[in-house]
Each structure stands twice: as structure tokens, then as C-alpha cells.
Amino acid sequence: MGLATKLLHTRYRVNDLERTVTFYRDVLGLEEIKRHKSPRGSELVFLRTPGSEELIEITFFPGSGPVQVQPDLTHLAFEVDSLAAFEKHLAAHGLKFSDGPTTSSSGSTFAFIDAPEGYEIELIEKAKVGH
């Protein structure tokens, strides 16, 4: 029918590929799936969370000029088991939440951290069922 059937990946271009990949791997726990150079010279690293099929493509392409991320332009959201535990994990990496935690009307709690380049990451602890 010609309609999109599956989200494959989301791409973020960055100024410092290794710093960003290290953040997504060590702070968020993503795994590197593949890495290669495109025909036009972009360096590409594909990452994913252990529980997802969708990939995040981190790209370094100096020919496009420096990356300048506007505030509140875009973000990635990840589910976490416990924001309190994640906050301790962040502290061990010298990081802290940039906003939150905030509990929504549905009972879920969310907080934000800033990734390298200024991209925002939302962390969501879903409401506990039956509580």
C-alpha cells in the first residue's frame, strides 16, 4: 500500500562522535550495533537499547558545519526502572538531572538529562500498577 510500516532509526548529527557514543553507551546503557563510513564520508554509529529494535544513528560529518542544537528542539525518551537508581548512576558519572523528576497525572515520573551537543534525553519511570 506504500505506507511506512516500521521505524528503523533516528539520526542525530554531532560534533564529537566518540564523546557522544561513550555517553550513550556508558550513561544510558545502549549497545553499539554497527559502525561504518558512508559513501559521502559521514562516520556513522548505530546504537540501540537492549529492549528495542529501533536504532539511534549518531553521525559525524564535518562538511556540514558545526552542530548547534536549539533548546527544546528535539529529544529521545527512554524508559527506566527507577529514576532514583538512575540518579545515583548519573552521579557516579558526574552528571545530574537537568529538569525533574516530575510526576505526571498518569502517575508516571519523568526527568531530563542533557546529552553531548545539547540534545535532551527524557527518562520515564512508568507508574507502578496497583499502587
Least confidently predicted of 66-70, 88-92, 98-102, 121-125: 66-70
Note the pLDDT of residue 131.
Answer: 52
Let me know if residue 1 belongs to a domain: no
Let me know if residue 114 belongs to a domain: yes
Buried b (16+ CB within 10 A) or exposed e, 74-102: eebebebeebeebbebbeeeeeebeeebe
Full-model pTM: 0.89
Let me know if residue 3 belongs to a domain: no
Query: At 58, is the secondary structure helix, strand, or coil?
Result: strand
* Tens-place pLDDT, residues 8-47: 999 999 999 999 999 999 999 999 999 999 998 899 999 9
Place of cell 538531572: 97
User: CB under 8 Å to 33, separation ≥6 — which residues?
Assistant: 46, 47, 48, 55
What value does the mean pLDDT take over residues 123-127?
A: 93
Let me know if residue 28 belongs to a domain: yes
Distance CA 80, CA 83 (A): 7
For residue 125, the domain's CATH number is 3.10.180.10
Let me know if residue 67 belongs to a domain: no
Give the residue numbers spanning the domain of 94.
Answer: 73-131
* Tens-place pLDDT, residues 61-86: 988 888 888 888 889 999 999 999 99
Residues 41 and 88 in one domain: no
Let me know if residue 66 belongs to a domain: no
Note the pLDDT of residue 110.
Answer: 96
Residues 120 and 97 in one domain: yes
Note the pLDDT of residue 25.
Answer: 95
Helix (H) or strand (E) holding 112: strand 109-114
